[in-house]
Amino acid sequence: MKVLISDKVDTGCVGILQQGGLEVDVNTGLSVEELLDIIGGYAGLIVRSATKVTEAVIERAEALRAVGRAGAGVDNIDINAATRRGIVVMNTPGGNSVSTAEHSVAMMMALARNVPRATASMKAGIWEKSPFTGIELAGKTVAVLGMGRVGREVAARANGLGMRVLGYDPFMTDETIQSYGTQPAGLEQIWAEADVLTFHLPLTPQTKHYLSTEQLAQCKNGVRVINCARGGIVDEVALLAGLESGKVAGAALDVYEEEPPAPDSKLITHDNVICTPHLAASTQEAQSNVALQVAQQVRDVLVEGVIRNAVNVPSIEPEAYEKLRPYLDLGERMGRIQGQLVEGSLERITIEYRGEVTAHAMSPLTSAVLKGVMETFAEEGSVNLVNAPVVAQERGIRVDEVKSSDPEDYASLLTVILQAGGQRRVLSGTLFGRSDPRIVRFDQYDLDAVPDGHMLFYINDDIPGIIGRVGSTMGSHKVNIARMSCGRHQVGGKALTVLNVDSHMSPAVLDEILQDPNISWARQVAL
């Protein structure tokens, strides 16, 4: 497999990929047309911010399985298009956390003490002090909006400066924010009390213009604003108006709604604005860290199937993956069985997790089950762990997860329930030991079946001789039975038999079995 590195990254990136047996091409500065011409031959792509991985690029990338962004921001990658194609998109959110946090704090301190303006004055040959009188940060209130890796690092450093630190994150509990030595606060409190606002949120439709005219009106007079996260989080028109009115005492910006900004921008040229050209992550240490990290992640996906720091699929760390791998295999096999047994239009998939398996992340397991189900309805190779939930959603299939610590009769139990055409079909599975998969229930029938190879499921009247007749039929067609599991709900009622056979059966064999008046249903499954 081949990997393309299309932006400048640390040279150590190449060696890590090659150690995994991957062929690596470093080709930077490609035009859009040049990228479109060559991308079809690559299974992996590593970029920074310069390469734009658009929908057009993704459509041309027939072999592409993984895109790695050496850095945190992925706004140069069409995530939705990649997900639909089953391509893993990964970033390196931790590799530049310290660098970005340090830059944010440096901007805050420079803003507080007017360092850039005083420097420019000195370089112009002017010795003056009073215009550059600053403020002490000790005792001031700083609001950290976004308590991810960078936000937490900023909070730690602000605490060290003796500041009162308020923390806000819409996806984090108050208890978690407190555990980082930060006082949790709602937005109303933040706007009213913060002397400094520092933003560390991703840019999403929900966070665009998070700080705008309405929010600034609620802030203290003389508030200072820092944005080293993503351009667009701060409404630049509102910010400029605040600076001109004096509502905002100063702003420090590393990112902009348009990059690069216009040289004559009133915001950029404002005396009380400090600007840097998207430098927060630009340290030698950070650039090396993110390059080596993304190379390892791309290698892990392509060579071992381990996904870390993905933005469009549940990630699994290597240690967790080894523990989860048998369940992923079980879930995919069960999904594949159910997908082949379902009759009618599929409406709903319910996945129940019970017992010890609930200690693991559920999202990867759900993706594995959905992959197994959906690939039976899709073109071969078009469904994987990345896009399986999207494929289900596009088909209008409702997916539910149920989690319980009660294991019933097993240490762990995974149940996949399909509703289609007014019918409900239940399949339960577990692991014997650490990695031996078993099907233990089909609808109301208890079993001990191995989900492997070619399988025959059939329901019959619970009377003597049925198994023998089925065996004779299969024997006459030279189909060898490897394993058998039987279950019944009550004596003399209906019974279920599951056979593992050594080879695929022709439709003629199945038809002959169904000709038996005591067999009401039969289906063949291939795993």
Catalogue the active-site residues: 230, 259, 278
Evaluate whether 217 touches 242 at the Cβ level (below 8 Å).
no
Q: Token pair of 249, please?
A: 């005492």
Integer Cα distance of 338 and 426 in angstroms: 8
| Amino acid at residue number 471 | G
DSSP state of 395: T
Report the SS3 class of residue 94: coil
Report the SS3 class of residue 417: strand
Integer Cα distance of 325 and 318 in angstroms: 10
Long-range contacts at 271-278 (CB < 8 A, ≥ 24 apart) = 271/117, 272/243, 272/248, 273/243, 274/107, 274/110, 274/111, 274/116, 274/250, 276/103, 276/107, 278/49, 278/254
Q: What are the angstrom distances between the C-alpha of 480 and each of 50, 126, 467, 476, 502?
A: 59, 96, 14, 10, 6
- Other beta carbons within 10 Å of 198: 27
Sequential DSSP letters for 431-447: EETTTEEEEEEETTEEE
Integer Cα distance of 98 and 91 in angstroms: 16
Q: Token pair of 443, please?
A: 């609808």
Evaluate whether 414 touches 351 at the Cβ level (below 8 Å).
yes
Integer Cα distance of 87 and 93 in angstroms: 19
Integer Cα distance of 153 and 160 in angstroms: 11
485-489-494 Cα angle (round to 5): 80
Long-range contacts at 440-448 (CB < 8 A, ≥ 24 apart) = 440/410, 440/413, 441/415, 442/487, 442/496, 442/498, 443/496, 444/489, 445/487, 445/488, 445/489, 445/495, 445/496, 446/487, 447/485, 447/486, 447/487, 447/496, 447/498, 448/485
Please name which of 272, 399, 280, 277 lies closest in space to residue 335, comparing C-alpha atoms: 399
Q: Token pair of 129, please?
A: 């002090």
Integer Cα distance of 449 and 499 in angstroms: 8
For the chain, the C-alpha Rg in angstroms (whole number) is 30
Integer Cα distance of 413 and 382 in angstroms: 29
Longest dimension (CA), the chain: 107
Describe the chain by its helix, strand, coil percentages, rounded to 5: 35, 25, 40
Evaluate whether 295 touches 12 at the Cβ level (below 8 Å).
yes
